[in-house]
Chain A
């Protein structure tokens, strides 16, 4: 599906630029985007190295395990396929906590560690397993208490109370999370049923 979307975006963009007379812009955009991607990765190297370094300390000292134990009952409900001692649980917990407090740049490296840990136990390495799908739909639904970028943007634009959107935004993100989890369960049960019939 992502293959079709990817080809579609490029083909539609290029063909539309012929009609619209924006082919020159598309030419620049192609290589600007490549440079932009490299710059983004350089930023990632800095952030990932720092946070994964810190994470490794917490892991080796046993702090991560201690904190994971607190959230284990909840996490096992969300991810019924994982064993209670699965190494991914600690990273999932760290990723969700960082996201919740609006620390987006710490959340990404933790999330990627979680994905690596989940992939290590994935019998079908080219297709995501159930836990990966649940983890990612929770991430795209963005369960966060402090949307930090939005708050700082409202601050720079002189909002009387830049934090006034925190409560409604939290309620809205809860809606999308509930929706994501429900759909995830429904889709899962649907595929399980279909596979059994085959």
Chain B
């Protein structure tokens, strides 16, 4: 655990000096290249604003209206049918839509049940093994100005569903 933590702390600084020392041996103008690449970073990030803003506004409206909570209430009996704790439902549902909201739910579940409880572990594994599909597609397609996500969204969401099912089954199996 401690070695892993140490490795991950050292990883970035080592990567940075490795890039710089390699450039030095190849006599590359590292500073010039850095500022040149950096300029593109500014352009790229600014160009994302309308895509991100539009998506965040829609998600926040849906959350603030209380619709997501109501939907959890309607869907809870389905989860009980598969003998799954309904507390996991909001997470499964919000994970592909909003990364910050699902992280909030995970924090909430961990605080309520304690980190060693099945629900907290399953939630952590769901959160850790999936990504915010809608956000990833918004940002990546937004950067190149593509407005039709096409089959990427369908595949992304289906793979999320498969990943989440796997996450819960694996939690049951791994921690039993």
Contacts and interface: CB of A to CB of B under 8 A. Distances in A.
Interface of A: 1-3, 5-6, 9-10, 12-14, 16-17, 20, 22, 25-26, 28-30, 32-34, 36-38, 40-41, 44-45, 47-63, 101-103, 106, 108-109, 111-113, 115-116, 118-119, 125-128, 132-133, 136-137, 139-142, 144, 146-151, 153-154, 157-165, 167-173, 175-177, 179-180, 183-184, 187, 191
Contacts of A101: 8, 11
A74 B26 CA distance: 28
A45 B128 contact: no
**What secondary structure prevails in chain A residues at the interface with B?**
helix
Nearest to B144: A119
Nearest to B61: A13
Interface of B: 1, 4, 8, 11-12, 15-16, 18-20, 22-23, 26, 28-30, 33-42, 44-46, 48-49, 52-67, 70, 96, 103, 106-107, 110-111, 114-116, 120-121, 124-133, 136-137, 139-141, 143-156, 158-160, 162-164, 166-167, 170-171, 174-175
A48 B106 CA distance: 28
A108 B116 CA distance: 32
Nearest to A104: B131
A3 B146 CA distance: 12
B15 to A, nearest CB: 8
Given A53-B41, A61-B33, A102-B8, 15 more contacts: A29-B63, A34-B57, A53-B38, A56-B36, A56-B40, A57-B37, A63-B18, A128-B152, A139-B131, A154-B124, A167-B174, A171-B170, A175-B163, A175-B170, A176-B163
B38 A50 contact: yes
A36 B144 contact: no
B121 A187 contact: no
B139 A112 contact: yes
A25 B124 CA distance: 29
Nearest to B109: A157
B174 A168 contact: yes
Contact of A175 (B158, B166, B175): B166
Nearest to A139: B136
A45 B42 CA distance: 5
Contacts of A184: 151, 155
B152 A136 contact: yes
B101 to A, nearest CB: 12
Given A2-B148, A176-B130, A33 B116 contact: no
A153 B125 contact: no
